[in-house]
Amino acid sequence: MGYSMVLDQFNNILESLKEDYKIFAPKVFKDKGTYSDTDMIRYGEISSVKEIEFDQKSYYSAKELILPITQTLFYFTEDNVIEPKVDNEKGIIIFLRSCDINAIERLDEIYLRNGQEDPYYKKLREKVKLVLIECKNSFENCFCVSMGSNKTEDYSLFIRKKDNDILVDLKDDEFLRYFETYDKSEVLPNFIESNEIKVNIPANLGIDAFSYDLWEDYSSRCISCGRCSTVCGTCSCFTMQDIFYSDNLSTGERRRVWASCQIDGYTTMAGGHEYRKDKGERMRFKTMHKIYDFNKRFGYQMCVGCGRCDDACPEYISFSHCINKLDKLVKEVK
């Protein structure tokens, strides 16, 4: 069901939606980029369609909205454990691209359909409504077509900004009351059909790939900064921290905080043993997890090809090139 309206009318709808939802979208943060005179595009709360960045890829994915960078799981005292209250008064609306919607599907697999449900993730995820925005062109380093994440049907609303007009495809009847007085118009999303970068997932990939010399290339190149994981929409590792309050050391809170399998100390155990001390071994673990382990368990690839890991790496390590080099090696060995 499609509708059309001018920008001001859509802003009126956003004003009405704000009574029931917090609304997030990729937006420009002035002078917050890598350098003092560069901007940062990341997710933030918006109140107007003019704040939405339609033409550039966000540096970070939308995962921080449903998997916070740091999240208090519970507060503890000498006698009690108390879970923090969740703001249930408002839902969450997120404007995002096809690959990022597919990334959230991967997070759902990990946190909701991988055995025991994660209650903290579930509480936030159930509040979320997804609004699709389309890519007019493939961005630098994207390879979403190769990963099959360039398309999605999983959205409540699709919106297209065209000059001073907004076109909407509505799939969720919960939003019907906001749009039913506007002109009806046929509109469906267009999806990217090709990227400049193409990735070949190795056929018949097996654990024998663990012994390839390929991984040693990354032992000297990677600096273990973990940027590739923080910008990734599907990386989901975390660590735990117990915070004790200084005024009463018997009270405090437990937090879970984003972590990365690429940084020093992530696999360090009690006694000092570390599973993957070498950076090449960490790259091997990440790669095989993204294109082998996850697929083996859930039947589709974990990586969505957004290319943010390539965008963010200060050492110009390309994940897409790594997959293609692995594919070449597998073919040579077979």
Give the up-direction half-sphere exposure of residue 13: CA atoms within 13 A in the CB hemisphere: 23
The Cα 268–Cα 258 span in angstroms is: 16
User: Which of 158, 178, 198 is the C-terminal boundary of a domain?
Assistant: 178
Task: Note whether residue 249 is domain-resident.
Answer: no
Give the single-character DSSP code of 202.
P
Q: Which residues of the chain have pLDDT under 70?
A: 334
H or E element at residue 250: none
User: Which of 163, 178, 193 is the C-terminal boundary of a domain?
Assistant: 178
For 5-40, give one letter per residue: b (16+ CB within 10 A) or e.
Answer: beeebbbebbeebeeebbbbbbbbeeeeeeeeeebb
pLDDT at residue 141, as a whole number: 97
The reply to whether 48 and 152 lie within a common domain is yes
CA distances to 139, 144, 154, 320 from 196, rounded to whole Å, are 9, 10, 25, 11
pLDDT at residue 166, as a whole number: 96
Task: Note whether residue 34 is domain-resident.
Answer: yes
User: Could you read off the pLDDT of 152-191 as tens digits, one per residue?
Assistant: 999 999 999 999 999 999 999 999 999 999 999 999 999 9
The domain of 277 spans: 207-238+259-333
239 neighbors 259 (Cβ within 8 angstroms): yes
pLDDT at residue 57, as a whole number: 95
User: Could you read off the pLDDT of 253-265 as tens digits, one per residue?
Assistant: 999 999 999 999 9
The Cα 104–Cα 125 span in angstroms is: 9
pLDDT at residue 171, as a whole number: 95
The reply to whether 138 and 16 lie within a common domain is yes
The reply to whether 25 and 140 lie within a common domain is yes
**Could you tell me where the beta strands, DSSP code E, fall in the chain?**
2-6, 21-29, 40-45, 70-76, 81-82, 91-96, 128-133, 157-162, 165-170, 183-184, 238-244, 252-258
Closest to 151 in 3D by CA, of 232, 109, 97: 97
Task: Note whether residue 80 is domain-resident.
Answer: no
Helix and strand counts by DSSP (H, E) for the chain: 11, 12
The reply to whether 142 and 211 lie within a common domain is no
Q: Hunting for tokens 């980029």 — which residue is that?
A: 33
pLDDT at residue 78, as a whole number: 87
User: Could you read off the pLDDT of 185-213 as tens digits, one per residue?
Assistant: 999 999 999 999 999 999 889 999 999 99
Task: Note whether residue 183 is domain-resident.
Answer: no
The reply to whether 11 and 157 lie within a common domain is yes
pLDDT at residue 29, as a whole number: 95
The reply to whether 172 and 217 lie within a common domain is no
Please state the domain count of the chain.
Answer: 2
pLDDT at residue 45, as a whole number: 97
The reply to whether 11 and 101 lie within a common domain is yes
Other residues' Cβ atoms within 10 Å of the Cβ of residue 75: 16
The reply to whether 174 and 212 lie within a common domain is no
The reply to whether 165 and 280 lie within a common domain is no
Sheet of strand 81-82, all strands in order from the earlier edge strand to the far edge:
81-82, 70-76, 252-258, 238-244
The reply to whether 8 and 137 lie within a common domain is yes
Q: What is the largest CA-CA distance in the chain?
A: 67
The reply to whether 138 and 212 lie within a common domain is no
